[in-house]
Amino acid sequence: MPKENAETEKKPTLHIVEYIPSRAVRVNFDKAWLANETDVDLYLESMRQALLAEIRQGKRIQI
């Protein structure tokens, strides 16, 4: 197997992970308070989507 020279050798890419506090994640929710089980379910789904959006951008969330 031929040895690759320095020009063709792939170098590892440096991936810097950004850490953010959970309070920095903006949850899109229309109500100011939770009044029933349905509100809780809707809020948790909105929070889930907001957290996943940050993670998909390569961020890590401190809880």
Contact 60, 20 (CB under 8 A): yes
Answer whether residue 13 is part of any domain.
Answer: no
Return the C-alpha torsion angle 40, 43, 45, 46, nearest 10. 180
Entry field: residues in the chain: 63
The tokens for 15 are: 């991936």
Q: How many folded domains does the chain comprise?
A: 1
Reported as a single tens digit per residue, the pLDDT across 36-45 is 999 999 999 9
Which domain range does residue 38 map to?
Answer: 18-62
pTM for the model stands at 0.73
Answer whether residue 44 is part of any domain.
Answer: yes
Residue 1 is predicted with a pLDDT of 57
C-alpha to C-alpha distance for 36 and 28, rounded to whole angstroms = 18
Cα 60 off chain centre by:
6
Reported as a single tens digit per residue, the pLDDT across 3-46 is 666 566 787 888 889 999 999 999 999 999 999 999 999 999 99
